[in-house]
Amino acid sequence: MKSFSRYIYYIVVALAMVTAQACSNSDLGDVVADNNTVNVSFSTIFDTNAVTRVAGGDSVDKLFVELYSNGVKVGERKGFTVSNHTIEDFTLPLVSGESYTAVFWAQDTDCQAYNIDDLSNITIDYAENITLANIDSFDAFSGRISFTVTPQTLNQSVTLTRPFALLIAGSSNYNPAVTNQSASLTIDKVATAYNAISGTISGSAAQTFSYNIDGTAVPNKSGFTMVGAAYILPVTNTRVTVGVSTTATNTKSVTAFIDNIEPNNRYNILGTDLISY
């Protein structure tokens, strides 16, 4: 009888173990079915014309990335280091079958001109501590890409472009012996906000920039000294007025009109008589 009871006991234990294993497999299957997150790899590069068209973006050192699904932000903002125009590839865990828009913004983290708390409404303080020597620190880049996560879309590549145009006023009549030379650059229409999600601009206002002329050379223009410079969000038919003054008796003012200013381009306003002595 004891042998028979022990036999029944072993059968019951075996059945319990099989049942437990079956439940365990069922639970694991449910977890796998629900956990359909996959890693999507992102490759981010700067526009190849970034250096030749404008200044180069040498001061850009941080990339910020946000994800949106159906217009709603997903997760927290990510930050990645930019070094010498290079951003290491990175991966983000995303839900298979979901549609996303990835939004990118890169800038010099020391620049306080841009309020990037909301990438859909990046506001710009054009007067934020701008000088001719640090003008490159105001450079910035943006990009966006939309996709649905499938086995074919696990590798995404986006090119960052500059939403700004760079205006430079330069003179070939600079005399470093004359001290306390100043200049102003007035632009009668610039956009005041940028939506990095849609790539659109908004707002319109006149801006005046004031500078101390410090001998900084106009990039790639031998013999010309910068007397004014600004990164702006261009508005169609923007009119640019350049006024230059010095401590000399004769103050020189020059007016230039530039229509259809485009982002990611540089516009030089150069002359021999922008400074008068």
Task: Calculate ∠ Cα 81-86-89, nearest 5°.
Answer: 75
Confidence class of residue 267 from pLDDT cuts 50, 70 and 90?
A: confident
Whether the Cβ atoms of residue 102 and residue 153 lie closer than 8 Å to each other: no
Average pLDDT over residues 108-129: 91
- Do the bridges between strand 165-171 and strand 225-234 make them parallel or antiparallel, or are there none, so unpaired? antiparallel
Angle at 103 between CA 98 and CA 107, to 5 degrees: 160
Q: What is the pTM (predicted TM-score) of this model?
A: 0.81
Mean pLDDT, to the nearest integer, of 139-145? 95
- Determine the pLDDT at residue 41: 97
Q: Count CA within 13 A, CB hemisphere, residue 12.
A: 6
Per-residue pLDDT, 158: 95
Confidence of residue 31 (pLDDT cuts 50, 70, 90): very low
pLDDT value of residue 131:
83
pLDDT in tens, 50-96: 544 556 678 899 999 999 998 899 999 999 999 888 899 999 999 99
pLDDT at 58: 82
Cβ atoms within 10 Å of 134's Cβ, excluding its own: 15
pLDDT in tens, 149-185: 999 999 999 999 999 998 898 888 888 887 778 888 8
DSSP state at residue 5? H
